[in-house]
Amino acid sequence: MPTTELTAGGQIVVPMSSLLDALSATMTEPERLALYEDLLDLRPVGVAPGDLIEAGLFNQMMSDINALMLRVARLESGFGGPYIERIDPPGSEHATGSKITIVGRNFKPSNADTKVVFGTVEVFDFFPESTDTAIVMPVPVGFAGLPIDLKVHVSTAGMVSNELATRIVAPVIAANGTLDVRNISSALGTITIGQTFTLQWRIISQINLPRTILLEEKVSAVTGSSEGVWLDAITLSDPGPFELASGASKDITMTVTIPPGADAASINLLARTTEGNFTDLGTPVPLKVGQAPAVSDPRALVSMAAMVAMPELRQGSITVEGQVLQGFKMQPSKTLDLAHQIAVGGSGEGFYSFEATLEPGTDSNGLQTGRWTVGAIPAARVNIPGNQTQPFTVPLTSSATADVATVSWLVVTAKRFAAASGGSPTFTSFARIPIIGKA
């Protein structure tokens, strides 16, 4: 401890030399000399009554005050007081709720009275990894009028550290989630050349932030005509851009006029965001002249369900004639239960049975008999209330020839009945899901 002296007036004072000697364990000789000279240089600028204090003078006064506070903190740190060197991560801005580390010394984070003060907001709780030289903590929340500039200091055992300036900003929320494109069309009837048909699509945003959406018509598997001719024959009620809030949906009408010379084509709709990489492609609607295409009833939605990752199987993107769809990739010579689900709307309540079949792939090899085998799904009907989702599985076996080059289609169908047994289905919903071999 530094020595003290008693003045003639009875005051106890600490000589400057004694203070500097006491700092010998924490400061080098050049540092103590620089501190001594700086303290001697801190002299107020004379200002007479009525004088105008200009901005330059005021700023110099504030700079001197801050410098004096910094030196006091350094002096106190030599006697066990807290001192802040920096705030990590580096930078002048820190978001509320983000993790920061206040680096310095003599913090004593385990003391009950140790606190970090942001302006007037006091924080006493720190992360367990805090030490005497590093306080780890979240930036407090609840500040009004962000961004806001504040001074930060540490207080412990009645001693206060120097202050560091920081700007508190609102947290940056990362966009996450998915887009969902659903075909909600009614039955189309027999496809004839020159006739105009209407497809209905529903775009659902499951992204946590509002996003601007763009739509694009897609045509594939064309025979008897060309892709360009088909695209010219398609019109969207609103191709975008339009904004969808999180959880919101928008219905889109697509009109398709069957072009001259057409034989068949698959029609689809792609939705993507202008910000971020969010896209989804609906289930393609196959149109063939002279036939009535099957249309999945929108009162129930059949889809893949999330599965635990495993080496034998992966859910992911499969490219089919330039279009990216979500499907299953499965290793050869495996038998697995593929997870699916049916989401029943409010008017879809009833008893459901499930079945699965295989369609040829889109290349010239087709299905290649025996490449995939669908197992039996329990025949008992399941009572599903409205606005509920029911999981189920589809057993699938891959042969030794289930290579990675040929795409096949797994068609999973749900039939709705009015009763647990007997009667005919009142409607049918289905999903066409691509499957391919996995290395």
| Interval 122-170: pLDDT, tens | 999 999 999 999 999 999 988 888 899 999 999 998 889 999 989 999 8
What's the rounded Cα separation, in Å, for the pair 237 and 241?
A: 12
Domains 177-288 and 300-437 share a fold: yes
| Interval 366-375: pLDDT, tens | 444 567 888 8
- Res. 352: pLDDT tops 60: yes
The b-or-e profile of 61-88 (16+ CB within 10 A means b, else e) is eeeeeeeeebeebbbbbbeebbbbeebe
200 forms bridges with which residues in the sheet? 253
**Global pTM value:** 0.55
The answer to whether the CB of 393 falls within 8 A of the CB of 339 is yes
- Res. 365: pLDDT tops 90: no
Of the candidates 336, 331, 287, the residue with the CA atom closest to the CA atom of residue 307: 336
User: SS3 of 370, please?
Assistant: coil
CATH class for domain 83-169? mainly beta
**Residue 228 phi, psi dihedral angles, 5° rounding:** -60, -40
What's the rounded Cα separation, in Å, for the pair 266 and 222?
A: 7
What's the confidence (pLDDT) of residue 321? 62
What's the confidence (pLDDT) of residue 341? 92
Of the candidates 132, 133, 168, 185, the residue with the CA atom closest to the CA atom of residue 298: 185
What's the confidence (pLDDT) of residue 123? 92
CATH superfamily for domain 177-288: Immunoglobulins (2.60.40.10)
Q: How wide is the angle at C-alpha 39 spanned by C-alphas 160 and 77, nearest 5°?
A: 30
Tokens of 303: 């889809």
| Interval 24-71: pLDDT, tens | 665 667 666 766 666 555 444 555 555 555 555 555 555 555 555 555
CA 405 centroid distance within chain:
33
- CATH number for 300-437 (one of 2.40.50.100, 3.40.50.1220, 3.30.565.10, 2.60.40.10): it is 2.60.40.10
What's the confidence (pLDDT) of residue 171? 85
| Interval 235-259: pLDDT, tens | 999 998 999 998 899 999 999 999 9
- pLDDT > 90 fraction of the chain, expressed in percent and rounded: 39
Domain boundaries, the chain: 16-77, 83-169, 177-288, 300-437
- Res. 364: pLDDT tops 50: no
Mean pLDDT of the region 294-323: 80
What's the confidence (pLDDT) of residue 295? 81
Span between the terminal Cα atoms of the chain, in Å: 74
Q: List all residues 6 or more positions away from 280 whose beta carbon is below 8 Å from its beta carbon.
A: 178, 179, 180, 181, 270, 271, 272
